[in-house]
Every structure is written in structure tokens, then in C-alpha cells.
């Protein structure tokens, strides 16, 4: 069994036992065996190992867990972004433009885009990335989107209910029937999750409930896009269906926050339904940011994710989202880093990632900085020196 010691770590974020909310240990080392963390402790007591990575006093943290990304698409919408920056509102109507380009693309074109974006994210410290379908919206195009996504990630999500495609515009009930029937049957073998864009202009609460319930019956876990563009019933529907995560949460009522807080685990480890905030979307649509403080103060587990997609948030950078969350959403740097690592893991109902404690997957990042604080303090700077994925330096 070959072992690797990451040694001479000035500041180790464990998200487990240690100082403060990030479980920090100083002058630490991490022993990795068989892709897993085997030991964490003071560098002075580090066991011998076959190989050694010298962190040189830098900070080390769990790899980022990006629990919300739409990577299977073709084309871009740079002109739509420019129009928005000149004052046009974001409505989600551009999704159909991307659907047209995606349907026209070959498998290899889609695969190349997924790999390019996954590679971009990896170089910025993302070790787990959820990938949604949702730009195919036919049985064949949703199935191939998920097949291609599954080549790159174990966290794949069927989003056949992203919008009602143009050919079904005047018969949305028929489209819901297609999603719940043949489309789900073709998608489910390649998907772990089901998602619906529950929003005015996309799917109403009855359609969303019907689709998510079909997905659940087919063995998929539930997550949804909720309360992004305005207040609505999405968050309450997510709680009703025991969703792992409700995503966006930009417009929340007191009842929404209370319902999320009511999903708290009895052991104090957070909420069963996570609120995933996607500040890249508010940045790129010039919209008000979600109220992270209100959620955190109510005890709701918060995750940060990129929402990487060609319309509302074309960034693959978790460090950028951390910096936005701190500067624009008043999260402390520690809260933001926790949300980008452990929060994302909770949003995917995973306990083997987002932490650096014995038994966890050895997914970790060595920063080009002495502290995690620099992720928000030095925005836009490439601070990821090295990434280890499953114990393997990338």
C-alpha cells in the first residue's frame, strides 16, 4: 500500500475537530493511503510515508465541492450578457437559445465542453462538481447529456424540466408527461438526482411536484431551482419532498426560512435540506444577492456553488464565489469557505468529502497563501498551487 504525506502545512482546514468553525490545525500534516485520509496531526509527529509533498508552510483545505453546475451545452450567450450589462433584465428566456445550439451539437462537441469546464474548475480547486442536463429537452438529448456528464462526474442531475421547450409551448401538460415518462426512463440510468426550475416562466409548483415525485419513485434524489427570480413556493416544495438542496434562494419569506430551519438534524449538525447560494448568478444578472446572514442566523446549512452555465453565471471558479459571498453577502471568510466545501458536500448528502478527517476522500487543495482568508482577501488571483484528487496530485 503506497502512502503520501502532505507535510509542513501552516494552516490546515479540516472542517472537523480543531480551532473555530473550520476546525483549523496549525503546523500540521496529512497522511494519505489508498486515496483516503489515514491520519491528521502535528507535522512534528508525522509518520513515515513513501512520498512527501512539502506544503512549505502554506494553507491546505478540502477541495471545493461545487454542487450546482450546468456543463452540458453548446455555444455561448456573450451577447445576451452584454445586453444585460446595458440594462436588459434576465428572464431565463435565453435558455431556449442554448437548447437549440445543444441539440445541433455532436456528442464530441458536448464532451469537449464538459471536459474543458471541468478542467478549469479543477485548476481552481474544485474536486467534486455536480453536472446537470437541461439543455437537450428531448428524450435523446437529455439521455446523451447525462451519459456525457456521467463520464466526468458521479454527481449527475436530470433537469429535463429546465424550461418547456418551444415545440411544447402551448401544451405544457404534455411536456410534463414526457419528462415523467420516456425522458425519465432514458435519463435515470445515468442520473443520481432530479431537479426542476420551479419559477414563473418555467414550471409551476404542481408540475414541479409531479416531476420530482416521479424522479423520487425512480430512485433519484431531489434538488430544485427555487425562488431565484421572485418569491414563490419552490423552497416549501423542496422541504415537503425532503430535497437535499434548494438552490438560489434569492427571494425568501419568513416561512421559507423557518421551513428550512425546521429540517435541522437533532445532533446539531445542520439542516437536512441545504440552501445553496449561487452568487455568480446575481453577479452576472446584476441582481440583488441572497440574504445569507438570515439563513445562517436561523441555523440553516448554506452551500456555495458556481451555477456554471452559459446564461446566468458563466464562471467555474469557486474562489470567485467565496470572494463574492464575503464581500457582497456578508458571510465571514470562514463561513464562506465552509459553505464551499462542507456545505457543498451536505448539499450532495455526502459525508466522505468536504472534510479532511481520517476516512475522508483525500481531495485537497494547497494554496499559494498562508491562510484560507486569502481566498476572499485576494480576489481574482490564482491562489491554487496544487490539487490532490483521491490522493493523486493533479
Binding residues for N-formimidoyl-L-glutamate: 135, 309, 311
Give the dihedral of Cα atoms 239, 218, 347, 361; nearest 10 deg: 150
| Annotated binding-site positions for 4-imidazolone-5-propanoate | 77, 135, 162, 228, 312
- Residue 130 binding Fe ion, by CB under 5 A: no
| From Fe ion, ligand NIG, none, interface partner of 92 (C-beta below 5 to 8 A by class) | ligand NIG
Cβ closer to ligand NIG: 84 or 190? Answer: 84
Of 280, 276, 270, residue with least CA distance to 252:
276
Report how far residue 165's alpha carbon sits from residue 103's, in angstroms, rounded to the nearest whole number: 12
Least distance to ligand NIG from the beta carbon of 138, Å?
17
Q: Binding-site residues for Fe(3+), please?
A: 68, 70, 225, 307
Looking at beta carbons only, is 307 or 335 nearer to Fe ion?
A: 307
Given the rule CB under 5 A, which of 6-14, 40-48, 106-114, 302-310 is the region that contacts Fe ion? Answer: 302-310
Q: Which of 17, 9, 19 is nearest to 43 (CA)?
A: 9
Residue 94 binding target from ligand NIG, Fe ion, none, CB below 5 to 8 Å by type:
ligand NIG
Rounded CA-CA distance 50/32 in Å is: 10
Annotated binding site: 68, 70, 77, 135, 162, 225, 228, 307, 309, 311-312
We find the least distance from the C-beta atom of residue 101 to ligand NIG, in angstroms, to be 11
At closest approach, how far in Å is the CB of 279 from ligand NIG?
12
Query: Which partner in ligand NIG, Fe ion, none is near 11 (CB below 5 to 8 A by kind)?
Result: none
Nearer to ligand NIG (CB atom), residue 125 or residue 311 = 311
| Interface residue list for ligand NIG (CB under 6 A) | 92, 94-95, 98, 197, 225, 228, 281, 307, 309-312
Cα–Cα dist 264/272, whole Å: 6
Grid cell listed for 364? 485537497
The stretches of the chain forming alpha helices (DSSP H) are 78-85, 95-104, 107-123, 139-150, 172-178, 184-187, 205-217, 234-240, 254-261, 279-285, 292-297, 318-329, 333-338, 344-347, 374-377
State the nearest-atom distance from the C-beta of 60 to ligand NIG, in Å: 31
What string of DSSP letters covers 107-161?
A: HHHHHHHHHHHHHHHHHTTEEEE-EE--S--SHHHHHHHHHHHHTT-S-EEEEEE
Helix (H) or strand (E) holding 273: none
307 binds Fe ion, rule: CB under 5 A: yes
What angle do the packed helices 95-104 and 139-150 form, to 10 degrees? 80
Candidates 83-91, 198-206, 307-315, 359-367 — which segment interacts with Fe ion by CB under 5 A? 307-315
Q: Between residues 41 and 75, which has the closer beta carbon with respect to ligand NIG?
A: 75
The residues binding Fe ion (CB under 5 A) are 307
Amino acid at each position: 500500500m503506497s502512502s503520501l504525506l502532505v507535510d509542513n502545512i501552516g494552516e490546515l482546514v479540516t472542517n472537523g475537530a480543531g480551532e473555530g468553525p473550520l476546525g483549523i490545525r496549525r503546523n500540521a500534516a496529512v497522511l494519505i493511503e489508498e486515496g483516503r485520509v489515514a491520519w491528521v496531526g502535528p507535522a512534528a509527529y508525522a509518520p513515515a510515508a513513501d512520498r512527501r509533498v512539502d506544503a512549505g508552510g502554506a494553507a491546505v483545505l478540502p477541495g471545493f465541492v461545487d454542487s450546482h453546475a450546468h456543463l452540458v451545452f453548446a455555444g455561448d450567450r456573450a451577447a445576451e450578457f452584454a445586453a444585460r450589462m446595458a440594462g436588459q433584465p434576465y428572464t431565463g428566456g435565453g435558455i431556449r437559445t442554448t437548447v437549440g445550439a445543444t441539440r445541433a451539437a455532436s456528442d464530441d462537441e458536448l464532451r469537449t465542453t464538459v471536459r474543458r469546464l471541468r478542467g478549469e474548475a479543477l485548476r481552481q480547486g474544485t474536486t467534486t462538481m455536480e453536472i446537470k442536463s437541461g439543455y437537450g429537452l428531448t428524450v435523446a438529448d437529455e439521455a446523451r447529456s447525462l451519459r456525457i456528464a456521467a463520464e466526468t462526474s458521479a454527481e449527475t442531475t436530470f433537469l429535463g424540466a429546465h424550461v418547456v421547450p418551444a415545440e411544447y409551448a402551448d401544451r405544457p401538460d404534455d411536456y410534463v408527461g414526457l419528462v415523467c415518462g420516456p425522458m425519465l426512463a432514458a435519463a435515470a440510468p445515468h442520473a443520481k438526482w432530479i431537479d426542476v426550475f420551479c419559477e414563473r416562466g418555467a414550471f409551476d409548483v404542481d408540475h414541479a411536484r409531479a416531476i420530482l415525485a416521479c424522479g423520487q419513485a425512480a430512485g433519484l434524489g431531489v434538488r430544485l431551482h427555487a425562488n431565484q427570480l421572485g418569491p414563490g413556493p419552490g423552497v416549501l416544495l423542496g422541504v415537503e419532498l425532503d430535497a437535499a438542496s434548494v438552490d438560489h434562494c434569492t427571494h425568501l419569506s419568513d416561512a421559507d426560512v423557518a421551513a428550512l430551519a425546521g429540517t435541522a438534524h437533532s445532533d446539531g449538525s445542520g439542516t437536512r435540506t441545504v440552501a445553496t447560494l449561487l452568487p455568480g448568478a446575481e453577479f452576472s444578472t446584476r441582481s440583488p444577492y441572497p440574504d445569507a446572514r438570515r439563513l445562517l442566523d436561523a441555523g440553516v446549512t448554506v452551500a456555495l456553488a458556481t451555477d456554471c452555465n452559459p446564461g446566468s453565471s458563466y464562471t467555474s471558479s469557486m474562489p470567485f464565489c467565496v470572494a463574492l459571498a464575503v464581500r457582497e453577502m456578508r458571510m465571514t471568510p470562514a463561513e464562506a469557505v465552509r459553505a464551499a466545501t462542507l456545505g457543498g458536500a451536505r448539499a450532495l448528502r455526502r459525508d466522505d468529502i468536504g472534510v479532511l478527517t481520517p476516512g475522508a476522500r483525500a481531495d485537497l487543495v494547497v494554496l499559494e497563501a498562508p491562510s484560507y482568508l486569502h481566498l476572499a482577501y485576494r480576489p481574482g488571483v490564482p491562489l491554487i498551487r496544487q490539487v490532490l484528487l483521491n490522493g493523486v496530485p493533479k
